[in-house]
Amino acid sequence: MSEGVESASNGRLGGTVAIVTGAASGMGAAIARKFVEAGASVVLADRNPAGERLAAELGAAARFQLLDVASESQWDDACSTALAAFGKLTALVNCAGIFIPLPMLETDREQFARSVDVNQLGVFLGMKAAAPLIADAGGGSIVNISSGVALRGIAGMFAYSASKWAVRGMTRCAALELAKHGIRVNGIYPGAIDTPMIQLNPAGFNDAIVATMPLARMGTPDEIADAVTFLTSAEAAYITGAELPVDGGGAI
């Protein structure tokens, strides 16, 4: 059954089986919750075991899986959990991320490598592990959460920016390569979203960012979840390779 027909017959995300990384908190948790509300079954994947509480709260449509996104074997485990629990895999949301807000000259090799491992390598390994299963299910969707910093240069976030630019490039390439398998690959580019991660910025930094935005406020995790839900649904069946800023107009 095609993605569009299946979704239409069972609700907005009915029939969707997704892995959402970084699902223990912040944007990932909001995405997992929104997916279940829309009729999807979800594997909440995170290295933080607190995600197990959210999975229990979400009920029979949710499972928790410990996942270090930089581990290829743990990605295999997450995919196996989806198949064992729900019989297939049709969607992947790469939301896990690490944020080290330092300028280039203050970033050491280990900090840069950790940013690459989580933000870039994790997305690659996730797409590589999930894409064959999504293809076997008849097609589906991958959404990669990049960042507004991947749409422009920004000082003071060197490793984070570099890794999120890489996600942008991988998303475009994967969209081209996976289209023949019926897999759509799109990117979300969040701006200043009110999560614990953004509180790592220096004092006053977030206020300065908000002051430059036409909508003049921080976004919420639910607003990112709404955008991801749209791109995963049949409503976006003719959208692939898209770059969707959800940033209050910051990319204008």
Q: Is residue 2 part of a domain?
A: no
- DSSP secondary structure code for residue 32 in this structure: H
What pLDDT is attached to residue 127? 98
Please, are residues 240 and 175 in contact by the beta-carbon 8 Å criterion?
yes
What pLDDT is attached to residue 9? 42
Identity of residue 89: L
Backbone angles phi, psi at 183, to 5 degrees: -110, 120
What pLDDT is attached to residue 10? 59
Asked whether residue 5 carries a pLDDT value surpassing 60, the answer given is: no
Asked whether residue 7 carries a pLDDT value surpassing 70, the answer given is: no
pLDDT in tens, 70-99: 999 999 999 999 999 999 999 999 999 999
Q: Model confidence at 6, in pLDDT bands (50, 70, 90)?
A: very low
Mean pLDDT, the chain, rounded, equals 93
* Structural domain count, the chain: 1
Domain CATH code at residue 31? 3.40.50.720
Catalytic residue among 64, 158, 160, 165: 160
What pLDDT is attached to residue 80? 98
Asked whether residue 2 carries a pLDDT value surpassing 50, the answer given is: no
Distance, in Å, from the CA atom of 100 to the CA atom of 12, rounded to the nearest integer, reads 36
Asked whether residue 230 carries a pLDDT value surpassing 70, the answer given is: yes
What pLDDT is attached to residue 1? 33
Please, are residues 242 and 231 in contact by the beta-carbon 8 Å criterion?
yes
Please, are residues 185 and 146 in contact by the beta-carbon 8 Å criterion?
no
Asked whether residue 4 carries a pLDDT value surpassing 60, the answer given is: no
Q: Which of 226, 225, 207, 228 is CA-nearest to residue 216?
A: 207
- The stretch 4-9 carries a mean pLDDT of 37
Q: Is residue 251 part of a domain?
A: no
Q: What angle do CA 203, 206, 207 make, to 5 degrees?
A: 90
Check if 189 is active-site. Answer: no
pLDDT: which is higher, 170 or 155: 170
Q: Which of 34, 33, 36, 38 is CA-nearest to residue 13?
A: 38
Q: Is residue 223 part of a domain?
A: yes
Q: Is residue 252 part of a domain?
A: no
Asked whether residue 177 carries a pLDDT value surpassing 50, the answer given is: yes
Residue 121 domain boundaries:
17-245
Q: Is residue 132 part of a domain?
A: yes
pLDDT in tens, 106-154: 999 999 999 999 999 999 999 999 999 999 999 999 999 999 999 998 8
Neighbours of 111 (CB within 10 A): 16
- DSSP secondary structure code for residue 219 in this structure: B
What pLDDT is attached to residue 8? 37
Q: Is residue 10 part of a domain?
A: no
